[in-house]
Amino acid sequence: MPLVPATRLLKAASAGGYAVGAFNCNNMELVQAIITAAELENAPVILQASQGAIKYAGLSYIAALAKAAVAGTSIPVALHLDHGTSFEQALRCMTAGFSSVMIDGSRLPFAENVALTKHVVGVAHVLGVSVEAELGKIGGTEDDISVSEAEAFFTDPDEAARFVAETGIDSLAVAIGTAHGRYKGEPRLDFDRLDQIAARLEIPLVLHGSSGVPPEAIREAVRRGIRKVNIDTDIRESFTNAMRRVLEAESGEIDPRKVLGPAREEATVIIREKIRIFGSANKADTV
Ligand code: G3H
Ligand code: 13P
Ligand code: ZN
């Protein structure tokens, strides 16, 4: 099956009341772990490439890995640009075969975020590519701001409704208390705000910074309208912990496959757990 637009996966998720896992990848082993986990769970899945991934692996390698992956599987898979920085980068991804792009104008004033996002939507929709955008600021745990400071950056429900109407995007990343990277304490999600956003919008909502969020909070967010859940840090951690374990046990190991193979297996286990939490297991055939 060729790569499918994320919109198709997220529409099915909205109809079925579950969320699709969007897992970050930057090498062959991670792509294989994500696809194997999705196959074992019979789940639709989104492969996504961050700015760091594009810098590390290169756009053409990521696109080629995703295309090789879908050529050998029957589960529905989308390839998505994560936190796209410019119109040009989004266009490069579309040209390389990505079926979905995020344009992240959240650092910009509202009107400029609208203008940039609209520009991307205009081209993407002609090409059948889905567009995710962000309103509010999700940020990273390393940003070191207090919870009350962070709230100032949370997504405003009325602004979100205007943003979607003015841009025509397919999905919206919302700032409701999650952050990228490892949490210092336990993250507290603003579910009331999520309800208010979900009540005003008809498009699927996206939760970023979902590593380290307790499973019950993720399930609650999905019940309240989250349809795409982004996971990176938890996968990185399981992958590198497995590598470390092998090298600690066999400090003289020189075969990369002996180190990366167990890492791939460990990442597969974690991704399968996430898929079950999101409710997308056994949903591949409903897309
Ligand atoms: O957007 C969130 C990603 O976890 C950042 O990943 O370090 O590969 O750019 P990166
Ligand atoms: P985590 O690394 O916190 O899981 O966030 C991933 C993410 O939001 C990618 O866009
Ligand atoms: Zn993110």
Per-residue pLDDT of 161-172, as tens digits, reads 999 999 999 999
Among all bound ligands, the one having the nearest atom to the CA of 142 is 2
Round to whole Å and give the CA distance between 223 and 65. Answer: 33
Tell me the residue length of the chain: 287
- pLDDT value of residue 143: 73
**Bridge partner residues of 24 (DSSP):** 48
From CA 45, how far away is CA 76, in angstroms rounded? Answer: 7
CATH architecture of 6-286: Alpha-Beta Barrel (3.20)
* C-alpha neighbours within 13 Å on the C-beta side of residue 100: 31
CA separation for the pair 77, 97 (Å, rounded): 13
Structure tokens at 99: 């079926």
Is 82 a catalytic site residue?
A: yes
Q: What pLDDT, on the 0 to 100 scale, is given for residue 160?
A: 98
Q: What is the mean pLDDT of residues 2-18?
A: 97
Residue 29: CB within 6 Å of ligand 1? no
Between the CA of 249 and the centroid of ligand 2 the distance, in Å, is: 30
Ligand 2 pocket: which of 230, 234, 236 to mutate (most atoms within 8 A of CB): 230
- Residue 140's pLDDT band, with cuts at 50, 70 and 90, is confident
Over residues 62-70, mean pLDDT = 98
- Give dist(CA 28, CA 92) in Å, integer: 21
What single DSSP character describes residue 155?
P
CB-ligand 1 contact for 82 (6 Å cutoff): yes
The closest of 173, 147, 177 to 230, measured between CA atoms, is 173
pLDDT (mean) for 249-275:
98
Ligand 2 mutation target, pool 23, 24, 238, most atoms within 8 A of CB: 24
Say if residue 43's pLDDT is above 90: yes
pLDDT at residue number 177: 96
At residue 141 the predicted structure's pLDDT band, cuts being 50, 70 and 90, is confident
Atom of ligand 1 lying closest to residue 53 CA:
8
pLDDT for res 27: 98
**Candidate of 50, 134, 137, 206 to mutate for ligand 1, largest count of ligand atoms within 8 Å of Cβ:** 50
Give percent of the chain with pLDDT exceeding 70: 98
Does residue 146 carry a pLDDT above 80? no
Say how many Å lie between the CA of residue 86 and the centre of ligand 3: 16
pLDDT at 145 over 80: no
Which H or E element spans position 79? strand 77-84
| pLDDT level of residue 1 (50, 70, 90 thresholds) | confident
Query: Token digits for 247?
Result: 């090298």
User: Does the model's pTM come out above 0.95?
Assistant: yes
Whether residue 51 has its Cβ less than 6 Å from ligand 1: yes
* 94 neighbors 83 (Cβ within 8 angstroms): no
* Spacing, Cα 251 to ligand 2 middle (Å): 31
Minimum mean pLDDT range among 13-17, 143-147, 231-235, 279-283:
143-147
Please give the pLDDT value at position 139. 80
CA distance 152 to 264: 39
Would you say residue 149 has pLDDT above 80?
no
Among all bound ligands, the one having the nearest atom to the CA of 53 is 1
Task: Kindly list the domain boundaries of the chain, sorted by start residue.
Answer: 6-286
Secondary element (H or E) of residue 192:
helix 191-200
Ligand 1 within 6 A of CB of 53: yes
CA–centroid distance, 206 to ligand 3, in Å, is: 9
